[in-house]
Each structure stands twice: as C-alpha cells, then as structure tokens.
Amino acid sequence: MIDLHTHSLFSDGELIPAELARRFEVAGYRALAITDHGDLSNLELIIPQLVAFCKEINRQGGIRVIPGIELTHITPAAIPELVSRSRELGAKLVLVHGETIVEPVAPGTNRMAIEASADILAHPGLITEEEILLAKEHSVYLELTSRKGHSLTNGHVARLAQEIGAPLVLNSDAHAPGDIWPADSLQEIVLGAGLTENDFQKIMKNAEQIVEQCLASRK
C-alpha cells in the first residue's frame, strides 16, 4: 500500500521523518510521501532537508520515501509560483491544501491549484463539477482521505470524480501515529465513500503510477 500525504516534525506532525517512515513500513506500506505544510516562508528549509533524508533512506532499501510538500493556506495567486519553486527545490510531489469544509481555506484555491498543475489536490471539500472537469484535463489527482473532518466530503468528491472520470488517490494526511490507517483496512475508506472494490483497485494503481514517476525522476 502507498500513502502520498503525510506530515513530520518539519511542520505540524509529531514524528521525525525516520520514525514516520518506520511506522508506515510496519503498518504494511511499501511507499509514502512526506509532504509537510509549506509556504513562501519555509520551502527552502523543508524541501532540501526532505530530499537529503529520502536519498539516504532509499539507499538503505525497505520502504520507499518521496520528498514532497503541501502548499497550505497561501493565497490562490501565489500558488503557480510556489508549485514551480517547490519543484525547483527538489520536491517530487507537490500537493495543495484544498478547500476542506473544516478550515478557512481561501476561495479559489482549488481552481488555482488545478490550473497550476499541482500533482494532488488534497481534501478538496465541496469541489465543483467545473473544477473536477479541469482536474481531469490537467491530470491532477483528487484526494480521498481517512483524516477526521476532511473525510466528511469524501462521498461528494468520489461521486463527481467517478461521473466525470477524474483521477483519485487515497491518503491519510497523517500527523501522528494514530492517523496511520492499517493497510489491510484501506478499502473501507473507499467503500465508505460510495465506491466499489474495483474502484479501490484503480485508486491503488493511481498511487503506484505516481510513485513510479517520482522515483524515475529522482537523479
């Protein structure tokens, strides 16, 4: 199993990257991305450190770890520049903190993240049909999540994404050990969003493709 949205002590997570990776490995995962919260103030502090960490841990074998970032609570107008800057600094996966219904995210964030071709739009809340059509055009993955609060709109996101044909991924948005969903129970999240076992398999394939692309681009 794979998780592409997690947080360490580099932002508001409870664990250092090594322990985060170890706990996911023990829980049955074979790959994860560490995507700490970032804005203009801390990208250059977080991303190079994660890049160095991932390079070393991947050299050791075992679980594969991808250095990423979750651009969080930034103004929509700043998103394109920070997506580009994150990639220049070495982030292999760029998420944007979407318009979840449980946090005061600026309106327009979902659309701008999609137009900027972020890799994943995290917990996009009550995303519109127009935005999902745009996500399909830009090949931006929409997130289903096991995280409390953010998961309240999983059903909405899943239904529209399936109707329109936009790609989905499933993540934990883990900040603490208790947020790490058991790998053998991940299907429950997808079924709870109104999807099927076949949909779950497709979502897992999406995650595998993302990991393969990230690892192939790492030099």
pLDDT level of residue 156 (50, 70, 90 thresholds): very high
Each residue's pLDDT tens digit, 112-146: 999 999 999 999 999 999 999 999 999 999 999 99
The sign of the dihedral angle between the CA atoms of 72, 78, 83, 85 is: negative
The whole-angstrom separation of Cα 193 and Cα 190 is: 5
CATH number of the domain residue 34 falls in: 3.20.20.140
The count of structural domains within the chain is 1
Full residue range of the structural domain in which residue 85 is found: 2-216
Does residue 39 contact residue 32 with C-beta atoms inside 8 Å?
A: no
N- to C-terminal Cα separation, the chain: 24
What's the whole-model pTM score? Answer: 0.96
Burial class (CB in 10 A: 0-12, 13-18, 19+), 64: buried
Residue 19 half-sphere exposure, CB side, CA atoms within 13 Å?
12
Q: Which residues pair with 37 in a beta bridge?
A: 70
Each residue's pLDDT tens digit, 26-54: 999 999 999 999 999 999 999 999 999 99
